[in-house]
A and B are shown apart, each in its own frame.
Chain A
Amino acid sequence: MIVTGKGGVGKTTVAVALGLRAAAEGKRTIVCEVSSQENTSRMFDHTAVGFHEVEMEENLWSISIDPDESMREYVLLQLKVRAMRDMLFRSRIFNYLAAATPGLKELVTIGKIWELAQLDRKVKSGRKYDLVIVDAPATGHGVGFLQTPRTFASIARVGPIHSQAQTLDRFITDHENTGTAIVALPEEMPVNESAALERELRDEVGVAVDRVYLNGLYPERFSKPEAERLEGLADGEDGAVRAAARAALSEHRRARSQRAQLARLRRRVEAPVKTLPFLFEPELGPEAARRLSRRLS
């Protein structure tokens, strides 16, 4: 399951919530982060996991996929001899070429995701997972990221990397086994962008979007007549009462304008839309993710 969307929409939170949900259902699940920012481990108040599969909770693992580490692992799998791999990595030319080849980093990252998803793991004594969740890089780069295998297959017309890039492209576009979710926010531009992203994923990458998560939806705490009654207090004398009334009206207006955005989103995307509530919590931790995960049934 690939979780994508623009920056700052809560992709990590949704990815972790989906992970918790699957783990609770007894699926052995791993959440992969590709930005080296350790957002996932931080959410669990866990130390940085790095390029290791670390268990966060029962049935739930996490890994931060570093492209350089993926490259080392990949080359070792190709060469089979550690000494040869190490010699290669010491060579300046190899490092230069590896850095210069467009998209190679993204390709080996997707390669690692593919490897994690194999029941017959290439890595020695690798664990078998029922579900691999990818916390994808923010779009702009997101569609480019998922397109890398196809692009690569067309640059390297022959050779082992050509066929492997094709394998990865098939892996990403295999609707039976690979799903995609877009995370959106209930605001004008993010809604437009999510609709555009769905189109791009479908038409250009060939990925089917299974679901759009509208994240951070304000609850409707006050009805319209109630809001009208609060209007009077919002201009009143008493400081605390006035501030509280204004906060309530503010909540009411946001909740309403967000409902309008939700309706727009539903009209503009093909995939079913699922809403996730805004959590009035200063920092989101594992408890918050757990609460969201229960909304994901």
Chain B
Amino acid sequence: MPTLDEVLEGKTICICAGSGGVGKTTTSAAIATGMAAQGLKVCVLTIDPAKRLADSLGLKELGNEARRVKPALFEKQGVEMKGELWAMMLDAKATFDELIARQAPDEESRDRVLENRIYQQISSALAGSQEYMAMEKLFELHTEGQFDLLVLDTPPSRNALDFLDAPKRLTQFIEGRSLRVFMKPTGLAAKVAGRGASVALSVMKRIVGFDLIADLAEFFNAFSGMIDGFQARAKRVNKLLADPETCFLVVCGPQGEPINEAVYFHRKLVEAKLPFGGVIVNKVHYPAEQLRGANPIDLPATLAEKLGDADLAQRVAANFSDYQALAERDARNIKHLASEMRTRGVIRVPYLDEDVHDLAGLAEINRYLFATGEERVAMAAGRA
């Protein structure tokens, strides 16, 4: 079973993907911290505006520029930091604006796009723009080459798959230039295209209102000079994602639903020929290994004898059997996950007693993330 160090060996980009609420941000921060501690210059990027990453790294806030986490903070937690840890929060709108500024042939076309209301909607509100900009920023940082490793905490999507589809959706939208001609319904093109198109347009106008169509037409006009640049860039971004130096880690929880989503996401990664590195399952209830072969019926009696309190013994035993049931479920789900993914490289992080939201917590998680499989089992058995 490969360790996380082995999985990340020689990688320059690590993308943590998974559905919401499975601990992606924490995992990303922990991985970045762990790799930086080993001597790399690492930057972790998040798009989550919830300040989760900033909180866990002890930073007041993060901006669209990378910021270094103070080495003194690690010392305080007893973490030896050989490298550097940087962090940034993606501002999708600002990144999009920068991209427009870079691609625009002149200031006038830049301003026309930036001021267009359709653009303002797409750059902040359109589903997919955050995902697209995350990849854009990743590409930019990678091209600048200042970091040994970039760790991306993917945006909280309804499902992890949105992340893969989003850039395509957005580029398709932007590439819609062939349709610009239809935006002028009196134009020659509309007549050539035939009645179907003009009826569709007039119905659309009836439903949507004329303004929107006019704004769209204006948007495409303003954008027309930049389309080739966008397409070329999108191609290079896609190439970077498929590069062998990139690694996708699927993050999930041990319950049935997140496990199914992880399986599904893995399948999509394979279909898209993207480099899958491994899967991390958070908040796992480990089974108590010592119990194999023991007779559980003896437990309440033994406990009662040791505690001298039959009622407490009963409750301890009942609680234990509840925990064991959860551990069995987790083991079952993870077995299913491993067989679906045809991998033995499942990294299990136990459900810790304290929830993880600071550097000390990250260090604790790292003990599990970067351990070998056997070490993990031993550590977890020591706790459970």
Contacts and interface: CB of A to CB of B under 8 A. Distances in A.
Interface of A: 6-9, 35, 37, 39, 75, 78-79, 84, 87-88, 91, 93-94, 96-97, 99-103, 105, 137-141, 144, 151, 155-162, 187-189, 192-193, 196, 221-222, 226, 229-230, 233, 236, 238-248, 250-251, 253-254, 257, 280-283
Give chain B's interface secondary structure class.
helix
B121 A75 contact: no
Contacts of B210: 158-159
24 contacts: A39-B257, A78-B207, A93-B179, A94-B203, A97-B204, A101-B208, A102-B118, A138-B20, A138-B21, A155-B211, A155-B215, A157-B211, A159-B210, A188-B55, A192-B55, A222-B315, A222-B316, A222-B319, A226-B312, A229-B307, A240-B290, A240-B296, A244-B319, A246-B288
B173 A280 contact: no
A188 B357 contact: yes
B240 interface: no
B125 A189 contact: no
Interface string B155-197: 1111100000000010011001001001000000000000011
Interface in B208-257: 208-213, 215-216, 253, 255-257
B201 interface: yes
Nearest to A151: B125
B196 to A, nearest CB: 6
Interface size class of B (residues with CB under 8 A): 35 or more
B165 to A, nearest CB: 12
A88 B200 contact: yes
Closest 4 CB pairs of A and B: A7-B20, A8-B21, A159-B209, A239-B290
Contacts of B157: 141
Contacts of B21: 6-9, 138
A253 B208 contact: no
Contacts of B328: 282
B209 A247 contact: no
B144 to A, nearest CB: 27
Interface in B266-301: 288, 290-291, 294, 296, 298-299
Contacts of B56: 189
A102 B122 contact: yes
A247 B384 contact: yes
B52 interface: yes
A50 B49 CA distance: 33
Given A87-B196, A101-B216, 4 more contacts: A88-B199, A159-B210, A226-B312, A244-B316
Given A189-B50, A257-B355, A102 B303 contact: no
